[in-house]
Amino acid sequence: MEPIQLGRGDTEFIRKVEEESRQVVKKCYQCGNCTAGCPMSFSYDYTANQLMRLIQLGQRERVLKSRAVWMCVTCETCTTRCPNEIDVARVLDVCRHMARKAGYGGVFNNMRVFADSFLQTVRWNGKSHELGLMALFKMRAMKPFSDLSLAPSMLLKGKLPYLPHRIKGRSEVAGIFKRFSEQQLKELHAQTTDDKKPAGGDK
Ligand code: SF4
Ligand code: SF4
């Protein structure tokens, strides 16, 4: 890891993570309990406690460009193990949303494509539809033939149902996505308006 210049962190980033997650990240004292229980640590570039430390230091770019924010499966083990009752999984969730908004994904772009495809099937059906998810992901990631050999046995075992299960609250779930899109449009509009304002504010 490159050396970190203490005192030069992005304080606005720290404030935003704490506000959006409603967690006091400063309370983390680096005991490492979260990392010790994390089933995805093997695939992370920064472990859960390292991410918490980077957030405390306002290292926005390192956190948002990390592989870990995309590899976290939100199992919440870290949250249940934290002696300071910090909802670490929620903090990482917020960072993932921030990374997504900032357009980060880079070499991990397929993880973003996978997450988007998963959410798309939830939006359509109210819950995930594995076959639809696989089809969407392969199309968007332009990997039509990857893992194809697994399909027959999964189909035989009923792991890839042809038709999605339609749940009762489908319209409510669709409503959540609609409100989220509207909110994003509002934020984009506010940002564009801010960008157009002359430097030095309104005069
Ligand atoms: S929520 Fe993410 S960081 Fe926390 S234990 Fe699970 S995989 Fe690891
Ligand atoms: S378990 Fe809690 S206090 Fe310990 S390192 Fe993780 S976030 Fe920090």
Does the beta carbon of 33 lie inside 6 Å of ligand 2?
yes
Residue 53: inside a domain: yes
For the segment 30-53, what is each residue's pLDDT rounded down to a tens digit? 999 999 999 999 999 999 999 999
> Nearest bound ligand to CA 77?
1
Query: Ligand 2, atom 7: nearest CA belongs to which residue?
Result: 28
- Say whether both 20 and 98 belong to one domain: yes
- Mark the ranges of the chain whose per-residue pLDDT is less than 70: 1, 105-109, 195, 198-203
The domain boundary, picked from 73, 104, 135, lies at 104
Please report the pLDDT score of residue 81 as a whole number: 97
3-state secondary structure at position 3: coil
3-state secondary structure at position 45: coil
Please report the pLDDT score of residue 142 as a whole number: 82
Does the beta carbon of 47 lie inside 6 Å of ligand 2?
no
- Say whether both 141 and 124 belong to one domain: yes
Centre of ligand 1 from the C-alpha of residue 64, in Å: 16
Please report the pLDDT score of residue 201 as a whole number: 46
- CATH code (residue 15): 1.10.1060.10
Please report the pLDDT score of residue 104 as a whole number: 82
Please report the pLDDT score of residue 100 as a whole number: 84
The domain boundary, picked from 86, 104, 122, lies at 104
Centre of ligand 2 from the C-alpha of residue 96, in Å: 19
The domain boundary, picked from 79, 104, 129, lies at 104
Please report the pLDDT score of residue 1 as a whole number: 67
Q: Which residue matches tokens 């997504």?
A: 100
DSSP string, 126-170: SS--HHHHHHHHHHHHT-TTTTGGGHHHHHHTTSS-SSPPPPTTH
Please report the pLDDT score of residue 98 as a whole number: 92
Tally of domains within the chain? 2
- Say whether both 90 and 155 belong to one domain: no
| Domain containing residue 131 | 109-195
- Say whether both 73 and 116 belong to one domain: no
Contacts of 117 (CB under 8 A, 6+ apart): 133, 136, 137, 140
Centre of ligand 2 from the C-alpha of residue 30, in Å: 5
Alpha helices in the chain (DSSP H): 11-21, 33-37, 48-56, 60-64, 68-71, 77-81, 88-101, 109-125, 130-141, 151-156, 170-196
Residue 5: inside a domain: no
Please report the pLDDT score of residue 101 as a whole number: 84
